[in-house]
Chain A
Amino acid sequence: MRNFLSDKIVEIQPSGIRKFFDIVSEMKDAISLGVGEPDFDTPWHIREEGIYSLEKGRTFYTSNAGLKELKEEICHYLSRRIDVEYDYRKDIIVTVGGSEAIDIALRAVINPGDEVLIPQPSYVSYLPCAVLADAVPVVIELKEENEFRLTKEQLLAHITPKTKVLILPFPNNPTGAIMEKKDLEEIAEVIIEKDILVISDEIYSELTYGVEHVSIASLPGMKERTILINGFSKAYAMTGWRLGYAAGPAAIIEQMIKIHQFAIMCAPTNSQYAAVEALRNGDKDIAVMREAYDQRRRYLVHALREMGLDCFEPFGAFYVFPSIKRFGLSSDEFATRLLNEEKVAIVPGTAFGDCGEGFLRISYAYSLEDLKRALGRLEHFVKRLEEEQK
């Protein structure tokens, strides 16, 4: 029989997290700090709206780009939160999670051989999606000494005449890094001068602590060269509803809608009705969850530093990214031993790019009690490693 597989797909490595997941799921009574989704349930009024939409028999397709009411609410939201005005009729597409938006944004703009700049460590899908779109991915390795922010110098050093797109993943999974306005202004200057398009993944935009999130789309001259991606998973604890969106130049959104219409048809109708309720009446829920994350963030950073795991203070998302370099183990070895010896699952930094070597991603989307239990085991493990080193 012939080999039916696509060479391009076979070449793509499965997510490093997947491999880890397979080990963890075999293990009984493992506890985890490895989850990339909120521990909160979707607020009840949003779930209620989802239930109501089913009761009302809203079980049909919506238009390809999404429900009109939802697109309008998204525009209101973006106007009040990041101060950028979009036209709901042509600048918005509702997608199946932020993940779909990343995929179709890349496919809508890439010609074979175009280079896409991908800062790492970052979410696992950018690089494979770029490859699927026939782009040449160019990784920018973010540095701990810059608190994993993207600097102008790093950006400039990776731009070539073939560079077309920069992916800007802030607030960042896995590092918790953010980009403040001054950081973005430096980037924007280069972007405009070199005529590059930005795909700004702002899925964690509501989860910043002590610093307001700024979107690069709000800077002068940037709206027309930014595809902004956001969604409901993180802000409203709606991961399983699979709903996100992209906002950007109408000409690009139009092409994205084409891909979406042939591959997906439309995002889940039920989720879209729930999302309308989230945007209309969900600001309070976000504030409550943000405060809870912020408290755990302080607790986790404090606890890690106490046990001698260096980490910079992250101001976004719900991850801390401590360094384990002093133990002389690779991230993978550390995480595997931690799992085997203490039954705690933590994702090695290398799952988010090679430059994540020497780091771990620890999630604080857990109750304080869960965090304490897991941190107790982690501390035990760290002490053992220190003993071994003597």
Chain B
Amino acid sequence: MREKILAVIEKNSRIDIKDLAILLGESEVAVANEIAEMEKEKIICGYHTLINWDNTGEEKVTALIEVKVTPQRGQGFDKIAERIYNFPEVNAVYLMSGGFDFTVIIEEKTMREVAQFVSDKLAPLDAILSTATHFVLKKYKDHGTVLVDTVREERMLVTP
């Protein structure tokens, strides 16, 4: 049941528990319990909203920063990751395979703020060898949702 609950709410976190129970053919209580359980176990980590800021008046800049570091003896990458992800400006931190170590994603109001974050906060950290900052120019698709196209109904209203 968990897998099916997750598949549905990953796409629609606002669905009624009642509706969800009907869709899955389970009782409402069982579904609610399972969700509560998964929240406790940190399988479900939050219910966020996907916002297309481009459609608001608000200016937002997203940057992907490639970071190379020297891993710390005895602590590997985790300790450095922690020092990075604790900055509230940071949206995401991933440890990567390949030519660099971390991808850090940050969102700020202006490019200047991003630059400031990198030069004042990120780059000076002890273990960090180098950073390369890439700015996002346009978001086409985010979290599995296409942001640019509008959905249209092409089907005829009645067909055999």
Q: Give residues in A with beta carbon < 8 Å to B.
A: 15, 17, 20-21, 24-25, 30, 32, 34-37, 39, 123-125, 173, 291, 295-296, 298-299, 302-303, 345, 347, 351, 368
Contacts and interface: CB of A to CB of B under 8 A. Distances in A.
A17 B157 contact: no
B155 interface: yes
B22 A299 contact: yes
Contact of B22 (A17, A302, A345): A302
Contacts of B156: 21, 25, 35
Contacts of A35: 155-159
A299 B159 contact: no
Nearest to A298: B25
A25 B157 contact: yes
A21 B22 contact: no
A39 B152 CA distance: 11
Nearest to A37: B159
Contact of B158 (A295, A299, A345): A345
10 contacts: A20-B158, A21-B158, A34-B159, A35-B156, A35-B159, A173-B160, A291-B4, A298-B23, A351-B160, A368-B19
Contacts of B19: 299, 368
Interface string B118-160: 0000000000000000000000000000000000000111111
A6 B155 CA distance: 33
A163 to B, nearest CB: 26
Nearest to A301: B22
Contacts of B25: 298
A298 B24 CA distance: 8
Given A298-B23, A299-B23, A123 B160 contact: yes
B158 A347 contact: yes
Contacts of B24: 295, 298
Contact of A296 (B7, B23, B157): B23
B23 A124 contact: no
A173 B158 CA distance: 14
Contacts of B22: 298-299, 302-303
Contacts of B158: 17, 20-21, 24, 32, 34-35, 345, 347
Q: Which of A39, A296, A299, A347 has the most CB of B within 10 A?
A: A299
B13 to A, nearest CB: 14
B69 to A, nearest CB: 37
Nearest to A41: B154
